[in-house]
């Protein structure tokens, strides 16, 4: 049904509207692909019958995409693309253009109750939204450029995400003209989705042999978080009398059902009937159109169980069914180009009759495994596993593995009103919340409050394990003697993995609610809990944690306080499902392209060998023990397009110096540092370290330690592990790393053994400096080393750099903190607009062209005396200090003049601060630093 968003909850009301709007883009339909063929788009208002309490007719806002290849002479199949809840036809424009580029005539429209269409939403009612889509098929049947299977029977497929996915399934059940469908992240039973109760859970008294199954709907647990988003967010249509103002653009029957559920936490028979009418489960027994079910692995709204139910029910008709699970969903993101390509291939196969060969063959079942490794753009990586059949979530031929659990009987408490409650997920942000919970320590940080959850833990896994499906566990639930237990318990089952480094992650970012009826006397009752369906690769050494909690922010757990005892059933453990398969590989490069690539690679290899041979002689140049650590001569760098970042830069850094490289933003400092590290090549000029030219990969770079443009650490490793990994990558012996000295310099203490993902900015900065100092290099280059450090840490850094240089080594520091440079550095190079404007000792730069400061007892009279001296200008008074530009006038003459005038002179020194000299050198540009 609806598109993703955060719940209207007691804890986060301000986030609801923001995420409800922002996360509509999670649904399919946000691909902005440009068509490869010209496509004409026609906008039209289509009249359809109105609903209850509406005018006789309403207008739907529609768009028709016709590729140039679709004509009366060469008609093309059509595809209907339906949008997600709360969106409109514009949200699926990208998908429509992708299908049009494949040669399909594409129909999009805004469903009634949304956007510019009239009417009110009836939750994909067969009498309204489904009937509207059938009328759009009628219109396609009248077009000569649309392929026909018979009179008034166009060749047509239907797809859509969430709300649009439900429409796809229902339309296929009601309109036999639909030839193929591809519903995405949608539901099977709306009652089970909004009032879930583990349908496969059996709960019976321990001493009773019979077992009965619970279902959702009237017996379910109200999913108030998601429901509050869809029904509780004000809509654009005025309410009719007796309809809650917060119910938005829904029919009165839908509004009444939501009000009832939000008030009582239960679904009445009338609500069950309404939700059943809007459920594909009511028509799956008559769907004959080949069906590709695309479901998200990160989805707290419509989990894998909803797709599984659709697959089993439709396949029972003998209808071709393919299932694809992707690493996204309402909580995890939209399908990527590969998944959208699968949908296009499915329609090519079943609407065009294309031969399902190679990569165009949609497999019976495939699922994505997402890794913890991310690309530079913070995009997670992973792989797709293909199986020869869809086994379902837990039924044979799913393979299972038994994992033993430990943990004795535990008493859990349900607080009055269900508050405070566990926070395991937020609608539309489950993955982000899981990451935040992991950063805060996992279980207990953002999950269940103390006393509200029973947890059972496995031993470390002896080998890597892959979960695919719904894990199961048998537990016993009973009342606690002397304490209120009510007539039943509501529990929320979940499965987490605790890695060997202590991180905890909630698998699937979801919980499975179960309502357990207790017999008179309080039980005990044996319960088979089916946990949320997940796909998860687990490393050896990880532990699995089963949690049964009494509350969850996203659900209505009841109002009465109660206590229950939860324990593992005798001899039971965790049943882990597994679906073996093969990793899907791309083999679509034609032979001629392979040959072309091989030729290019061979040419590149030859060029590299030639360049290597030419460079070898230069690299054999031995360092000169008398040469300075760094010598920059006539350095210049011009980028493509003519931008000149650096020109005519020359300076020398001698042993024992702490040199500060200063300049406004854009002065060229970072460009110089990157050339110094061999990261980019100069356009002209030369850099030499210890007498050897600096080039990318040159051996002399091993004598230089650097921290430039921020550290790049692996967040899941500790600080010490990151340092060891960095040093190992250099290929140098471990005993040369001088690790103890570097760690002492970092000053991280025991924190060096914590994961870097938990570090503050200051801790990361200190670790980065320690990394630069590994091996105690002779030349240390630091870019903004004090960023993120507090004043005591800055002071310690200042002393550290001084000591480092006093030992005969050299330090080059680029910094914006002029006061720190003045106190730390012995020498300064000032750059402005790509050139060096000053180079010398700090005292020389401060003195400038004869500037001096005088501490006097009569500053106003002293200013007058100095101003009268020949050549002196720029006289200013700052408290008891007078500053003047002497322009060649000896300081002694100035002091004598002051004494003759009766002014007592206490101190005489350079002009004042480095900042004053800096601003004079670079002008007003320097004030933007």
Res 292 pLDDT > 60: yes
Domain count, the chain: 5
Bridging pattern class, strands 851-856 and 881-885: antiparallel
Domain assignment of residue 376, yes or no: no
Given 277, 311, 346, which residue is the final one in a domain? 277
The Cα-based distances of 158 to 150, 287, 504 in angstroms read 18, 13, 40
Looking up residue 871, the CATH number of its domain turns out to be 3.30.70.100
Whether residue 487 lies inside any domain: the answer is: yes
pLDDT digits (tens, 9 = 90+) for 784-801: 887 767 777 778 778 878
Residues 834 and 828: their CA atoms lie apart, in Å, by: 16
Contact 276, 215 (CB under 8 A): no
Give the residue with greater pLDDT, 8 vs 156. Answer: 156
For 877-925, write each residue's pLDDT tens digit.
888 888 887 777 787 888 888 888 898 888 877 665 666 667 666 655 4
Number of other CB atoms surrounding residue 919 within 10 Å: 17
Cα–Cα dist 479/412, whole Å: 10
- Token pair belonging to 112: 């009634």
Residue 4's pLDDT is what?
A: 35
Q: Cβ contacts of residue 612 below 8 Å, gap of 6+?
A: none
User: Which residue in this structure is represented by tokens 């110089």?
Assistant: 672
Q: For position 150, what pLDDT does the model report?
A: 94
Tell me: the pLDDT tens digits for 239-258? 444 444 456 678 888 888 88
pLDDT bracket for residue 350 (50, 70, 90): very high
Q: What confidence category does residue 171 fall into, taking pLDDT thresholds of 50, 70 and 90?
A: very high
Could you tell me if 867 and 813 lie in one domain?
no
Is 205 domain-assigned?
A: no
Which three-class secondary structure state does DSSP give residue 315? Answer: helix
User: Could you report the per-residue pLDDT of 94-114, keeping only the tens digit for each?
Assistant: 999 999 999 999 999 999 999
Instruction: Convert the pLDDT of each residue in 451-499 to its tens digit.
Output: 899 999 999 999 888 888 899 999 999 999 888 887 789 999 999 999 8
pLDDT tens digit sequence for 618-653 = 545 677 878 888 999 999 998 877 788 899 999 999
Task: Answer yes or no: do 152 and 41 share one domain.
Answer: yes
Question: What integer pLDDT is reported at residue 298 of this predicted model?
Answer: 87
What's 307's domain CATH number? Answer: 3.40.50.1820
Are the CB atoms for 872 and 911 separated by under 8 Å? no
DSSP single-letter state for residue 394 = S
Dihedrals φ, ψ of 630, to 5°? -150, 130
Per-residue pLDDT, 745: 67
Residues 795 and 874 in one domain: no
Phi first, then psi, for residue 481 (nearest 5°) are -55, 135
pLDDT value, residue 75: 96
pLDDT of residue 802: 81
More confident residue, 922 or 929: 922
At a CB cut-off of 8 Å and minimum separation 6, what does 710 contact? 768
Q: Do 688 and 828 fall into the same domain? A: yes
Token representation of residue 697: 């990969």
Query: Does residue 159 form part of some domain?
Result: yes
| Residue 396 in tokens | 């044979």
286 and 306 in a common domain = yes
Structure tokens at 379: 């995009």
Residue 384 lies in a domain: no
The count of other CB atoms within 10 Å of the CB of residue 735 is 7
Note the pLDDT of residue 614: 56
Residue 287 · residue 173 · CB < 8 Å: yes
Indicate the DSSP class of residue 509: G
Rounded to 5°, the CA angle 817-823-824 comes to 85
CATH number reported for the structural domain that contains residue 777 in this entry = 3.40.50.300
**Contact assessment for residue 79 and residue 100, using Cβ atoms and an 8 Å cutoff:** no
Asked whether 434 and 443 are in contact (CB, 8 A), the reply is no
Residues 716 and 797 in one domain: yes
Q: What is the pLDDT of residues 358-408, one digit of tens each?
A: 556 788 888 887 654 443 444 445 678 888 888 877 655 568 889 999 999
What pLDDT does residue 232 have? 57
- The C-alpha atoms of residue 612 and residue 928 are separated, in whole angstroms, by 44
C-alpha 7: how far from chain center:
20
DSSP state of 465: E
Same domain (yes/no): 665, 556:
no
Rounded Cα–Cα distance for residues 385 and 394 (Å): 17
With respect to residue 375, please indicate whether it lies within any of the assigned structural domains: no
> Higher model confidence: residue 77 or residue 391?
77
Label residue 847 by pLDDT band (50, 70, 90): low
Tokens representing 149? 């299977």
Q: What is the pLDDT of residue 381?
A: 53
Q: What's the pLDDT tens digit per position in 188-208? A: 998 888 888 764 343 334 443
Specify whether 638 is located in the same domain as 787: yes
Assess whether 673 and 810 both reside in one domain: yes
The residues, any chain, with a CB within 8 Å of residue 414's CB and separated by 6 or more, are: 452, 489, 490, 550, 551, 557, 558, 560, 561, 562, 563, 564
User: 569 and 698 in one domain?
Assistant: no
The CA distance from 258 to 236, in Å, is 18
791 and 680 inside one domain: yes
Give the distance, in angstroms, between the CA of residue 718 and the centroid of all CA atoms in the same chain. 22
650-705 pLDDT, tens digit each: 999 988 889 888 888 778 888 888 888 888 889 999 999 888 898 877 788 888 88
Residue 574 located in a structural domain? yes
Looking at per-residue pLDDT, the higher value among 316 and 928 belongs to 316
Model pLDDT for residues 566-609, shown as the tens digit of each residue: 999 987 789 998 887 776 543 333 444 445 556 666 666 666 66
Residue range(s) defining the domain that contains residue 177: 26-188+281-370
Q: Which of 231, 252, 277 is the endpoint of a domain?
A: 277
Phi then psi for residue 113, to 5 deg, are 95, -5
Residues 284 and 325: beta-carbon distance below 8 Å: no
pTM above 0.75, yes or no: no
The torsion angle over the Cα atoms of residues 837, 843, 848 and 849, rounded to 10 degrees, is -130
Please determine, for residue 352, whether its predicted confidence score (pLDDT) is greater than 60. Answer: yes
Residue 19 within any structural domain of the chain: no
Tokens of 885: 């530009």
Both 654 and 771 in one domain: the answer is: yes
Pick the last residue of a domain from 841, 860, 886: 841
Tell me what the pLDDT averaged over the chain comes to.
Answer: 80
Strands (E), 459-542: 465-469, 472-479, 488-498, 504-506, 512-517, 525-530, 534-538
Burial of 616 by CB count in 10 Å (0-12 exposed, 13-18 middle, 19+ buried)?
exposed
């Amino acid at each position: 049904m609806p598109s993703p968003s955060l719940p209207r909850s007691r804890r986060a009301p301000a986030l609801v509207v923001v995420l409800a709007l922002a996360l509509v883009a999670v649904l399919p339909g946000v691909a902005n692909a440009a068509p490869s063929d010209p496509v004409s788009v026609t906008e039209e208002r289509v009249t359809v019958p109105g609903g209850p309490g509406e005018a006789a007719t309403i207008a739907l806002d529609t768009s028709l995409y016709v590729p140039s290849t679709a004509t009366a002479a060469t008609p093309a199949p059509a595809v209907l693309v339906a949008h997600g809840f709360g969106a409109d036809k514009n949200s699926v424009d990208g998908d429509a253009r992708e299908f049009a580029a494949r040669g399909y005539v594409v129909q999009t429209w805004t469903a009634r109750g949304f956007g510019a269409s009239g009417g009110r939403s009836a939750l994909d009612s067969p009498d309204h939204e489904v009937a509207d889509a059938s009328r759009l098929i009628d219109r396609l049947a009248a077009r000569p450029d649309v392929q026909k299977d018979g009179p008034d029977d166009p060749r047509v497929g239907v797809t859509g995400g969430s709300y649009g996915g439900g429409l796809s399934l229902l339309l296929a059940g009601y309109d036999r003209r639909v030839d193929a469908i591809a519903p995405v992240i949608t539901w099977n039973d709306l009652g089970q989705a909004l009032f879930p109760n583990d349908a496969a859970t059996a709960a019976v008294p321990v001493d009773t042999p019979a077992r009965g199954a619970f279902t959702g709907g009237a017996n379910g647990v109200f999913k108030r978080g998601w429901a509050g988003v869809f029904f509780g967010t004000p809509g654009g249509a005025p309410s009719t009398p007796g309809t809650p103002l917060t119910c938005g653009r829904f029919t009165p029957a839908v509004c009444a059902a939501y009000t009832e559920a939000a008030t009582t936490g239960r679904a009445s028979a009338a609500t069950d009937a309404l939700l059943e009418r809007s459920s594909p489960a009511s028509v799956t027994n008559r769907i004959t159109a080949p069906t590709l079910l695309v479901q998200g692995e990160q989805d707290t709204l419509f989990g894998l169980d909803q797709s599984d139910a659709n697959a089993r029910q439709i396949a029972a008709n003998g209808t071709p069914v393919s299932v694809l699970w992707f690493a996204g969903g309402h909580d995890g993101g939209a399908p990527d180009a590969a998944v959208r390509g699968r949908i296009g291939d499915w329609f090519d196969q079943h609407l065009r009759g294309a031969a399902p060969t190679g990569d165009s063959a949609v497999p019976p079942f495939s699922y994505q495994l997402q890794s913890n490794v991310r690309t530079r753009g913070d995009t997670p990586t992973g792989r797709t596993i293909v199986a020869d059949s869809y086994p379902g979530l837990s039924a044979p031929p799913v393979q299972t593995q038994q994992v033993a659990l430990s943990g004795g009987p535990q008493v859990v408490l349900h607080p009055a009103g269900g508050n405070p409650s566990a926070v395991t997920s937020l609608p539309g942000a489950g993955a982000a919340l899981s990451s935040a919970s992991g950063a805060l320590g996992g279980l207990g940080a953002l999950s269940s409050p103390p006393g509200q959850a029973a947890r059972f833990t496995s031993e470390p896994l002896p080998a890597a394990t892959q979960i695919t499906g719904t894990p199961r566990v048998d537990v016993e639930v009973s009342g606690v003697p002397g304490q209120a237990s009510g007539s039943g318990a509501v529990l929320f089952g979940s499965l987490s993995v605790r890695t060997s480094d202590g991180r905890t992650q909630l698998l699937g970012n979801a919980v499975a609610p179960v309502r357990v009826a207790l017999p008179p006397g309080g039980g005990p009752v044996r319960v088979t809990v089916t946990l949320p369906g997940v796909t998860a690769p687990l490393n050896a050494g990880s532990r699995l944690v089963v949690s049964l909690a009494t509350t969850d922010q996203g659900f209505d757990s009841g109002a009465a306080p109660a206590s229950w005892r939860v324990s593992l059933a005798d001899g039971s453990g965790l049943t882990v499902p597994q679906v073996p398969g093969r990793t899907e590989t791309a083999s679509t490069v034609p032979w001629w392209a392979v040959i072309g690539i091989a030729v290019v690679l061979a040419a590149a290899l030859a060029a590299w060998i030639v360049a290597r041979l030419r460079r070898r002689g230069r690299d054999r140049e031995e360092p000169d023990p008398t040469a300075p650590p760094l010598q920059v001569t006539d350095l210049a760098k011009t980028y493509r397009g003519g931008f000149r970042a650096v020109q005519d830069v020359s300076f020398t850094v001698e042993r024992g110096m702490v040199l500060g490289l200063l300049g406004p933003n854009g002065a060229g400092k970072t460009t110089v540092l990157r050339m110094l590290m061999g990261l980019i090549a100069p356009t002209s000029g030369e850099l030499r370290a210890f007498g050897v030219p600096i080039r990318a990969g040159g051996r002399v770079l091993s004598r230089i330690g650097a921290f430039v443009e921020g550290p790049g650490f692996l967040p899941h490793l500790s600080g010490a592990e990151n340092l060891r990994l960095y040093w190992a990558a250099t290929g140098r012996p471990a005993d040369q790393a001088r690790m103890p000295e570097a760690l002492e310099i970092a000053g991280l203490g025991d924190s060096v053994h914590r994961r870097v993902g938990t570090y503050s900015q200051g801790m990361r900065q200190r670790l980065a400096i320690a990394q630069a100092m590994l091996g105690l290099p002779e030349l240390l280059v630091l870019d903004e080393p004090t960023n993120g450090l507090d004043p005591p840490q800055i002071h310690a850094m200042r002393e550290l750099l001084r000591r480092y240089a006093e030992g005969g080594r050299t330090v080059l520091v680029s910094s914006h903190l002029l006061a720190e440079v003045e106190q730390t550095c012995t020498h300064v190079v000032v750059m402005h607009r790509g050139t060096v404007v000053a180079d010398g000792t700090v005292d020389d730069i401060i003195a400038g062209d004869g500037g001096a400061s005088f501490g006097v007892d009569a500053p106003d009279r002293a200013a007058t005396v100095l101003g009268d001296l020949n050549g002196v200008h720029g006289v200013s008074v700052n408290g008891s200090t007078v500053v003047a530009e002497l322009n060649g006038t000896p300081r002694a003459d100035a002091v004598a003049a002051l004494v003759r005038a009766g002014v007592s002179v206490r101190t005489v020194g350079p002009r004042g601060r480095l900042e004053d000299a800096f601003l004079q050198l670079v002008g007003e540009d320097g004030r933007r630093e």
